[in-house]
Structure 1
């Protein structure tokens, strides 16, 4: 009987151990599929993973999780996998620092509304009315997302539970339809706030991080959810965001699959209705392939071939003396983040970099993930244009890297005296990402109306038995969205390629 079961299963190769591919892999392994994950790096997680440097474990990107609240989008998926993720709910996760004011983000709705009114006091009534409408739209978008709908609709099951939801929530659906092709800028105009610069700067800072674009181009529907998501809950995962991916990888193994690290794929082709995959440590044939790497392995194997613009990142990893936490952060809950809108005089941060300097202070861990009590870890990043870095000479590259590092530290120093506590720092460019993860772009495609609503990227490719997971596919950028793309793929495979 056991041999018969093995013979009738289907084999799935997942290229890239980001959270999208791992989520798909875990959901499929639970249903009896034979899952193999091939990862180029020595750790899983991709843009929400970790790496070891200077005997410390640093995050590769994301530091705060969303969707882990009870019945949240990510919580629902982990419950389906019978997984329990240790986390801490954050009440005050971030401050956004503008030139003339500072906005504190609070989970509590009453505290947040008070903050909005005080900080944007010049237009208090209009700002609160605008935000109430954003929340109303966001609630509708969340409910639709929770139905499991996957765009573009190619099969009836891509609708998830949306038809039933639409029947009982016709008013909300009509409202969303009315705003479907609107941008955040359009909503600002309705409330005559499009010329109110403080609010625009705040929204741009938040949106560039979450939607990879600013008010003028950010699609209103997904952006409304991004702008209000801190109110639903933001979370620090114990020992860092990489633990989400580590837990999913362990779950795949528990369910009979395998996760092979340090095994970059170097050949991929389709023959005799099978995918032939060769990597450093594994070679084999598979019924199905999920590309979660964001890298092309030939025509139609990745959405990166579309040549659409995608941001890269310039980042600094640093360690601070532990006294910084008490003396400068007043012992507040960690992690704590800052989005700092740079001074216009910092031309280097506007010519190559773009948007806010994003800084996160968090607990420090050694290479074995053991807490280091007398240190605080600081990660800093800014969006960067990927193209110019590969064209620079060695001297130009070094000079620009030093200039951006200095400018970022200068902006942070204006807010908190980090240089008094600095133990270690190291900067990385888009070319650094290319060396370690094989690509310079790390944020997916901007959530414009075209990308998010009119022509979203499907989790299906034009190739047979081949799927694309991660930030490049619907729903788009971010760890939560990547995980959802993986769940959409798992559902598609279960429907299209069931185990008989």
Structure 2
């Protein structure tokens, strides 16, 4: 008799797990609070236009890439364009263009950091070697912390074939990115530090002083493997996974927030009650990031969590006559603020991350003459509830203006602005039930010493998504979904 599985939350982690389990014959039901699937890699509508919820650029879709391998496992074809120049990083005194080509990237490093170019190139080449080692181990599908032999994946075989690579990883396991910088006397070189912090605060939720070297090496060098624009947006990944779940006999129930989750010890089953679904299941996978009782989530266990201050905007197509002319969308800017604005410094941290996309209406049709812009910054998720209604509104307006000013010094968006609306952590709480997003900072403790398992402390309940190993991001969430599905398949 096939086992039944309830997946709470239709983010890419939960949908990946659901698709693998449905393929193995499990009876799968995915329950989603929102009207759309995808979570942080989904979409929503404002002012008659489609906006990506979070992530906009995909990784791991290169041939034999981590995400491509998962999609191949599930017989999913997902058209995507390879982005050769996906991003510009705007430092206070310099612009650094990110390229897929190693040759062009090293030329850019030489130009931007000319006074220390020799040391910077040595540092980055060492980082690339470490990243290659980490990539190979990740491809073995090892899942931390290891509690069962199968969670080693094919790592033992890889270690026998490539002992030097595995020894290098062991050597660097407890180091931060700053430790590698010290090897080349670059720890006090501010231009490089600013660039690395801008990248790491977005990718691993912390800066060079705390970012674990092993996962950070992969995050910092991943553009050389490839970054991709998925046709019609990254939300198509979740849409394709949801379709595959249904093709394999599973069910995806939307607009159905979970109201209660309890375990029946006598029957060894979970009772799940939601708006549209009340049933008992052999296994539960929590992909929502929300707690439904003690042990059902890692929510609140982080030593630091962050919220998002976000601006959704529609621009006239005239904006493409400037720096965006001839650029394939999505295109991203990471802008390190000049700190001229006290409210921006006080209420947000990290770079201003702006991406540009072709505009779609509510039916998914392209809208001529418009460009969609999404902007996000990190902010303290707790401060916003302390403001009065008047103060809250005033601060939102002031920060929106200052964020647009920061972008405007790079690309003239204000003169092309047709529509803009701002969200804070309280907006996220209203629509998805939590103020914090992004998962745990990828420190040595969280990534190596005490990584959070997809296995919860409760029987037959698994946790996937940005809260667990291997961490935040669409690619990592996808892998966590695979790890949870593998555990259920091995032990059912």
- TM-score interval (norm. to shorter): over 0.9
Alpha-carbon distance in structure 2 between the residues aligned to 1:120 and 1:366: 43
Q: Does 1:88 align with 2:98?
A: no
| Equivalent residue for 2:430, pick from 430, 435, 458 | 435
What's the counterpart of residue 203 of structure 1? 196
Alpha-carbon distance in structure 1 between the residues aligned to 2:303 and 2:231: 35
Matches within 5 A, 1:243-282: 243-271=236-264, 272-282=267-277
How far residue 307 of structure 1 moved from its aligned partner, in angstroms, is 4.4
| Equivalent residue for 1:392, pick from 380, 383, 387 | 387
| Equivalent residue for 2:364, pick from 366, 369, 372 | 369
| Residues 41-74 of structure 1: CA deviation (Å, up to 9, x unaligned) | 0000001100011111100100000000010000
| Residues 188-227 of structure 1: CA deviation (Å, up to 9, x unaligned) | 1110001110000000000000010000000000000000
Is the 8 Å Cα contact of residues 322 and 411 (structure 2) preserved in structure 1?
A: no
Q: Does 1:494 align with 2:470?
A: no
| DSSP 3-state at the match of 2:319 | helix
Q: Does 1:408 align with 2:403?
A: yes
| Residues 151-184 of structure 1: CA deviation (Å, up to 9, x unaligned) | 0000000100001101111111111111101000
Tell me how large the CA RMSD over aligned residues is: 0.8
Alpha-carbon distance in structure 2 between the residues aligned to 1:308 and 1:301: 18
| Equivalent residue for 1:60, pick from 10, 33, 53 | 53
Segments of 4+ in structure 1 off by > 4 A? none
Alpha-carbon distance in structure 1 between the residues aligned to 2:487 and 2:448: 20
What's the counterpart of residue 158 of structure 2? 165
| Equivalent residue for 1:383, pick from 378, 384, 388 | 378
Q: Does 1:453 align with 2:448?
A: yes
Alpha-carbon distance in structure 2 between the residues aligned to 1:482 and 1:469: 7
Alpha-carbon distance in structure 1 between the residues aligned to 2:451 and 2:484: 15
Which structure 1 segments of 5+ residues have no match? 1-7
What's the counterpart of residue 169 of structure 2? 176
Q: What TM-score do the two structures reach when normalised by structure 2?
A: 0.99
| DSSP 3-state at the match of 2:315 | strand
Alpha-carbon distance in structure 2 between the residues aligned to 1:373 and 1:64: 22
How far residue 266 of structure 1 moved from its aligned partner, in angstroms, is 0.4
The answer to which of 478-487 and 397-406 deviates more is 397-406
How far residue 416 of structure 1 moved from its aligned partner, in angstroms, is 1.0
What's the counterpart of residue 336 of structure 1? 331
Is the 8 Å Cα contact of residues 88 and 96 (structure 2) preserved in structure 1?
A: yes
Alpha-carbon distance in structure 2 between the residues aligned to 1:225 and 1:384: 25
What's the counterpart of residue 416 of structure 2? 421
What's the counterpart of residue 49 of structure 1? 42
The answer to which of 442-451 and 317-326 deviates more is 317-326
Q: What TM-score do the two structures reach when normalised by structure 1?
A: 0.97
Q: Does 1:226 align with 2:216?
A: no
